[in-house]
Structure 1
Amino acid sequence: MTMNVKSVWVESNPWFALSVQEGSPTLLTYTNKHSGISHSIYAPVFELDGEACTAILSNLQETGRRILPNRVSEYELTGEFGPKGKWRLHLLLRVPDDNPVLRFKYRLSASGESVMTKALGKDAISYAGVQFPIRTADGEAEVREVRFSEFVEPVHSYCLQEQPLDERHFAAGLDVAGPMIASWGGEGEDAQLLAYEHGSQMPDSFLRFRLAADGLAEIQAAKGNYLTGQPIGRDRYYDTIWFQYAAVSGGEKELTSAYRAFVLHHMALYPESRQPYIFYNTWNNQERDKHFRGKSYLASITEERMLAEIEKAHRIGVDVFVIDTGWYTATGDWEVNPDRFPRGLTPIKERLDSYGMKLGLWFGPNSAALSSRMLQRNQNNLMHWQGVKPDPHPVWETELSEKMCLVSPYADDFADTLIRLARDLGVTYFKWDAVQQYGCDHYGHGHGDSGHTSEERRDHYAFRLGIELTRIVEKMQEACPEAIVDFDITEGGRYVGLGFLSVGKYFLINNGPYYQNYNVPIDEAVDNWNIFFHPGPARSWICRTTYDHDKWIPSILFLTHYFPDDPADFQQISAGSLMLGHNGIWGDLLSVSEEGTDRLGRILGTYKKIRNEITAGSMTRYGKVGGSLEVYEKICGETGKGVIVLFAAVPGKQRYLSASSQLVRKVWHTAEAAVSFTEDGSVIVDVEFDKPGAAIVFFGVDS
């Protein structure tokens, strides 16, 4: 049978032209305007009413278009497929004004009643497929699986991993987790990527890439994506997650650079989470109170202490002041504790406003205290596991709390509470903590009913969790566009990937590894398991290890905190580390000397003059973390402004030639460094350390 194939051109930006196909298993054709090469994105395949159905569309119409706040054009197209147009596919396309990365997703509906099925007892959706050049032993093409969600035990954090894929992997029909496959280097080939926006931890994946011998990589559902017998109809939809595709002329550098720019400028509707603010969090001082000073975790969370810390924070250049756990009376209602803050947070907010600083607060999204009105309203939305409701648990020395299911109507109640707090208290930064990907297998919430197995409800909860977290933030940001939500991923088993980055950022590292990570036993009487809890360079080694993410995702989206403690060499290591993008300072400001406060203020004040350029610049690293020499360059290619930070673990003299050229000749540097320019605009940095330390060289500011 001959198909009646017809292209409907949808959009063209400076990077690519896009068409949608009728009558073809190729749904989208993406043409790189610079190379003229066209790439096919194959149509999704759903199992409906017991049969695999490819979305080969007819009667395609444009049903909507709008310009989003981030300069992205959104298009909705609707077409029919199946016998007599039984099913409808609503295709949502987001095309940035000046970037090659396309975002797309689907909404599935039906003209009558239909159900999604699992004939083989497992998820059966192929969302999209793209052909990649297969690397052979003597070929130039490079294909890689790119992972962002692999928890690496030595640093107790999620780290970037790239795994090469060659003809053997494709020929074997393997599947890999992703969430991205990227390629570059083939003769006459574009560099390209295909990715999905979800989060899962290796090796526990909810979506996978299935590889085929001809180079095809298909994003397929692995588990939990939908429920057996899930109905679809005229007004009953199945919404997919977002997917991404891009093709560029050039190689690895061109592709990663374009993708970083997409994440920074075009992925999120609102820009606040992308701003290179300096964040201060009170928690490290609370830990020191507990473990060093024999006090409670919450002893220092008082109006008097917070006002004193704000003064110091202002002097060192903090933009967002975050009060960690303890500011509230009880979880759930999230009301200010009147014993700790007799005048509420009004004096705190007024002092912050006077300095142009923002207020941030800690939240446990899964918790509602026994006495809370939130719990009373949501008695039907408590978490259960294997038919049992967990016992109430204490939340950081506050009232016992129940665990709430976030894939239930409770999610909207929680969102409404945060919107109220934004309006009533003026809080704009929300730190979300202690949300594990698995947690509920109860029926009647929003992830399955009594007709589904406990395992299916469990997996669907885990799949839906990140989607619900994202939806909560979207609802918040519609009401409060300046809201920043930071999702704590400091432990394993959390929702980590590309999904949440469309609305927020990640809180990457708390204190790093525990003794247990290194099989070091500790006395049962000791309640502080942290190895890198004390001041000194070692903590920064652990934190800087995770800067590999910056290759694809700007490091500003992985908040990590460094100690502000004296002496000068410690402070310079911390300041040089954080300004590469982690941008966090970790507690105990009142222990910092006056001289140390001024020193940090000078360095960070200089950083803030060119922090936007530093954020925009892709990272180049030379040397090993904790070695000598360990160097980072973050230079904006358009302006030549940025920073080079050099770390040494041993004293001595060393020389470094920059990888970047055409650097601006306005230079500010710390005393350990001497800078000279070469003919091509690169620099030679000579450093001399009398002890382990860091040297900082800014380009674009005066000495």
Structure 2
Amino acid sequence: MKLKNIFLLIILFFYCDNDILANGHMAGKEFIYENARMRQVLSFKNNTISVQSVFDKKKQKELIAENALPYFEFQINKETVLSSMPIWEFIKYEERSLANQGLEYIFYFKGKGAYKGLKMELYRQYFQNSTLTREKIQLKSTKGHNFQLNKKEGKLHFIYPRLSLNNNIKGSIQEIQIANYQHWNHTFYPSIRNHTLTDSDELLLKGPFSVTYTGNHKVMSTYEHASQDEAKGFRLSAVTSMKKGNIDASQGVEGDETEIKDENFWFIAHHYSQSGNTRTIAIELIRGGYFDNEKIPYDSYYETVWNSFSFIGKDEKIEPLIHHYLFSQITEHPKSRESYFYYNTWAMQRELNKKGYDLRGVLTEERILREIDYAAQMNIELFVLDDGWEEALGIWTPHQKRLPNKLTPLINRMKEHNMIPGIWLSPMAIDSLFKRYRQHPEWIIRRSDGVPIVAQWGKTVFDIVGPFSDLFLEDCKKLIDQGIRFFKWDAMNTFNSSLSGLNHGDKSHTKKERIERYNYLFPFYVTRIMKELRKYNNDVVIEVDLTEPERCMIGLMPLQEGIFFFINNGASAYGDYSTYRTKSMRTVINDYGHFFPKELFTYAVYPHDVAPYCAQHYNINNTLIAGHGFWGDLNQLTPKERIGIGKTLAKAKRVRPYIHGIMTDYDVNVGASPEIYTQVDSMHAFGQIIGFSGSKTRLPYKLDLNRSQLLGILNHPYTSNHKSISMDFNFKKPDDTINAFLIGNKGEKISIISSTGQLDDIQLENNLLIIKVASASTVCIKYEDKKPIKVIGGNVRSQNVNEITLYSKESEDISITFENIP
């Protein structure tokens, strides 16, 4: 081989090392996957299935114990079936490239002996430069064969996946729950709980995250389902009576006779056990996963939830691992992770309702068009029509009187302003006055005496775990055909349906069994609809409303396809323009933000500057961190205010591509003095810094940064050296707030390295630097391989080969033309 070709191969190896290693292949009866971080071996020898090895390449340590328990275990035809039994004949595997840059391998097996006619598909997903493995199982019968899932000793018995780990530390298990409802703030919060485990002991945890500590590693396990963690926030009695006429009281369920206990919401468990030096972690069904004697179908399949397993070094932080998993690895819908500044009409409707207008009647074509134009002045990118656009609940066509021209003029106006058209739906609600209600009485969720339960807004609801799910899917497709690209799905509560004859049991099952199966399957059906809509149009994004107790879609499964609308008003109420409401909302991102990507949350603030609060700037800064939403009557804002908000959002949008998916850095609670949120790409010098303070205070702030990539900083004075920037954050009063936007130079070798005043805008294009000054400023500009040939505006204070310093009065622009030095 010629020396030149050898040289090229060496270069290719070094530049593509991770790509070369990130692949899987068969070696005899073993499947080997390898990337830069790990090597995994799945063994299919002797018609068995086992995880033979998980090897940490960095530490050169094996994680799987030699005396490992079987990889899976379940009951079929009243017998315990193990992965270690010689009944699993490997047929083939297929590889699929994922939209999130991962690789999916599907392994096909067929049963032998007494299990001839049983098929199994094992799905495993791997990711480049990551230790995370995501997996699920699908079981299917061959036509003419009868296989049933059974209980064992009266309990569900389906254990998968199960891994036995080498362990040198006993105890030390962390459980992370994510769906603890808190009355004080009318929303959900995470809960981190620490547990110990001793020899010969066992432990069941709800999760959905658990982390165990071994001698060399932290090992994380997850499952992707959805349910509230506890009964907090639920009806205090079996049958409630909603307050008539009170809009906010009409959110629950009237007529549900089901006794509510914490255990009702626990369907899947992390099962830990310890035996000597081996620690075993398994995911196990405990409620609703299947019926006793449930047939494994031949024309579809029985499937598990997706599970994941990953590891890091014992001294590494677990939060970045979770963050990356939720931002990227759990989803093949990257569009759902894009953030947009949005406006929702609901709070405007509420405000006008207080003044005597009909809550939904105000949502007329004329008023919506005006609100769209107002939102455009604010640089809004997504406009959501809330409840009131529709003919009736469950009849998802435009209201004939309020919107006589249907959605067309509204969507056209949104598109004129480059807005994404969004719309609100209450998927399960159905108005009893309409034909659809009368056509499908078998879908209406009822009490044991046959009377329909009453849900949000005093309406009945359809059971979605059945044929209705397909009808609702078609409703959404019709709206997509009209131009809708964003859905807000509301009021998906725990309705405890015991209907028989649908897809969660028949009269041979007890009422309790049908309810448990319904609640287990609910997130499967909702997420399937989300996935089908994404396939129908890849630009469609769905947010699930979690703003009330009893919302059963809080969990990891819906994050496979969508995002969460997390909080309405927190500890406050509609019409609160103060910082109090905003602080209570910020507790969500403050509690979740260390491990949940900010892109998964939406909520809306009031952008109004109403006396005596004058909290406009504070509220806007709050939604820049996360949430990104606005609502309220935009007519109450002056054109100057709306345009001013638009300028702030334009700055945030300028840095957004660079902080997309970056973890937010903060270390204090809401109300601290000060409270700083940093979202910065330090390498490329783009980002934003948002600060609040509960009291008057000052903070010398310093951030490590590659200054050679910095063009300048907007909205705040600063200084810098070659590896950091410094700002003096001066919070002049209680509940004061600041923001600063870092703008990179994209490698153009021109940097404004300091400014004594606020800069409103900086643009650099074709060697022309334009600086818009918001307050009187002395600016120092550093450049390399260039020289200024023309300066307009400002007074030159000093200049040398690589720097120029100028003074500019307030609102006086500076323009500098450079030429390259050969």
TM-score between both structures, scaled by the size of structure 2: 0.76
**Match of 1:159?**
189
Task: Give the Å deviation of 1:639.
Answer: 3.2
Please report how far the alpha carbon of residue 166 of structure 1 lies from its aligned counterpart in structure 2 after TM superposition.
3.0
Residue 34 in 1 paired to residue 58 in 2?
yes
Matched with 1:180 is 209
2:566 equivalent among 495, 508, 516: 508
Provide the rounded CA distance (Å) in 2 between the counterparts of 1:368 and 1:559: 26
Contact 2:350–2:574 (CA under 8 A) maintained in structure 1: no
Counterpart of 1:69?
Answer: 99
Whether 1:542 aligns to 2:574 is: no
Q: Contact (CA 8 Å) 2:546, 2:567: kept in 1 or not?
A: yes
Q: 1:307 to 1:623 in 2, by over 3 A?
A: same
Query: Displacement of 1:133 after TM fit?
Result: 7.4
What does 1:138-537 align with in structure 2 at a 5 Å threshold?
A: 143-167=173-197, 172-183=201-212, 189-203=216-230, 204-214=265-275, 215-232=279-296, 234-235=298-299, 237-249=301-313, 251-253=315-317, 255-291=318-354, 293-390=355-452, 401-423=459-481, 425-493=482-550, 494-513=552-571, 530-531=572-573, 533-537=575-579
1:660-698 CA-to-partner distances (Å, cap 9, x unmatched) read 55475344343xx54333664253443232452210122
Residue equivalent to 1:520? none
In structure 1, how many angstroms separate the alpha carbons of the residues matched to 2:485 and 2:300? Answer: 35
Cα distance in 1 for residues equivalent to 2:526 and 2:512: 21
Matches within 5 A, 1:87-102: 87-97=118-128, 99-102=130-133
Equivalent pair of 1:533/1:539 in contact (CA under 8 Å): no
Q: Deviations over 1:294-313 (max 9, x none)?
A: 32211321111111111121
In the TM superposition, residue 163 of structure 1 has moved relative to its aligned partner by: 1.6
State whether residues 190 and 592 of structure 2, in contact with CA within 8 Å, keep that contact through their aligned partners in structure 1. yes
Aligned residue number for residue 121 of structure 1: 154
Aligned-residue offset at 1:190: 3.2
**C-alpha distance in 1 between matches for 2:130 and 2:381:** 30
User: Which has the greater radius of gyration?
Assistant: 2
Q: Distance in 2 between matches of 1:366 and 1:317?
A: 33
Contact 1:617–1:637 (8 Å) recurs in 2: no
Mapping of 1:546-585 within 5 angstroms? Answer: 546-547=588-589, 548-566=591-609, 570-585=615-630
| Deviation of the 1:637 alpha carbon | 5.4
In the TM superposition, residue 113 of structure 1 has moved relative to its aligned partner by: 1.0
Distance 1:347 1:622, change over 3 A: same
Where do 5+ consecutive residues of structure 1 fail to align? 514-529
The aligned counterpart of 2:74 is 46
The DSSP-based 3-state class of the residue aligned with 1:191 is: strand
- The CA distance in 1 between the partners of 2:424 and 2:694, in whole Å, is 35
CA distance in 2, matches of 1:678, 1:165: 46
Shift of residue 533, structure 1, vs aligned partner: 4.3
- Looking at structure 2, the residues matched to 372 and 639 of structure 1 have their Cα atoms a distance apart, in angstroms, of 57
- Note the C-alpha offset of 1:479: 0.8
User: How many residues of Structure 1 are paired with residues of Structure 2 in the alignment?
Assistant: 667
Residues in 2 aligned to 1:135 and 1:552: alpha-carbon distance in whole angstroms = 27
| 2:450 maps to amino acid | V
Residues of 1 paired with 2:307 and 2:725: CA distance? 39
Residue matched to 2:135:
104
User: Are residues 143 and 391 of structure 1, via their aligned partners in 2, closer, same or farther at CA, if it must alter by over 3 Å?
Assistant: closer
1:654–1:327 Cα change, 3 Å: same
Quote the residue 1:517 is aligned against: none
CA change 1:441–1:570 in 2 (3 A) is: same
Paired residue for 2:788? none
SS at match of 2:151: coil
Q: How far apart in 2 are the matches of 1:247 and 1:478?
A: 32
- 1:524 is aligned to none
The Cα shift of 1:224 comes to 0.4
What amino acid is aligned across from residue 598 of structure 1 in structure 2? I
TM-score, reference length from structure 1? 0.88
1:561–1:352 CA distance, 2 compared to 1 (3 A): same
Query: Comparing 403-412 with 296-305, which one deviates more in the overlay?
Result: 296-305
Matches of 2:492 and 2:501, distance apart in 1: 21
Deviations 1:12-59 (CA, angstroms, capped at 9, x unpaired): 344443332225563464434433434449522112222322123632
Is the Cα–Cα contact under 8 Å of residues 267 and 287 in structure 2 kept in the other structure? yes
Give 1:126 shift.
Answer: 1.1
- For 1:676 and 1:230, how far apart are their aligned partners in 2? 69
8 A contact 2:729–2:738 mirrored in 1:
no
Which AA in structure 2 matches 1:224?
G
The Cα shift of 1:60 comes to 1.4
Question: Are 1:9 and 2:31 an aligned pair?
Answer: yes
| Change over 3 Å in CA distance of 1:421–1:372 after alignment to 2 | farther
Q: 2:88 touches 2:112 (CA, 8 Å); kept in 1?
A: no
Residues 29, 414 of structure 1: CA spacing in aligned structure 2 closer, same or farther, 3 A cutoff? farther
- Provide Cα deviations, 1:205-242, integer angstroms capped at 9, x if missing partner: 11111221243222111100111210125546311111
d(CA) in 1 for partners of 2:364, 2:635: 14
* Higher RCO (C-alpha 8 Å, min separation 6): 1
Task: Specify the code of the residue in structure 1 equivalent to 2:401.
Answer: D
Q: Which of residues 645, 653, 659 in structure 2 aligns to 1:600?
A: 645
In structure 1, the residue matched to 2:248 is none
The Cα of 1:538 is off from its aligned counterpart by 0.8
Q: Unaligned regions of 5+ residues in structure 2, if any?
A: 1-26, 231-264, 745-760, 763-822
> Compared with structure 1, are the counterparts of its residues 444 and 656 closer, same or farther at alpha carbon in structure 2 (3 Å cutoff)?
same
**SS in structure 2 of the partner of residue 356 of structure 1:** coil
CA distance in structure 2 between the aligned counterparts of 1:62 and 1:685, rounded to whole angstroms:
63
Alignment RMSD (CA, Å): 2.7
Tell me the amino acid that sits aligned with residue 660 of structure 2. T
* 2:731–2:737 Cα contact (<8 Å) kept: no
CA distance in 2, matches of 1:244, 1:387: 43
Residue in structure 2 matched with residue 18 of structure 1 by the alignment:
40
Cα gap change, 1:91 to 1:201, in 2 (>3 Å): same
1:239 to 1:416, Cα distance in 2 relative to 1, 3 A: same
Distance 1:327 1:213 in 2: 57
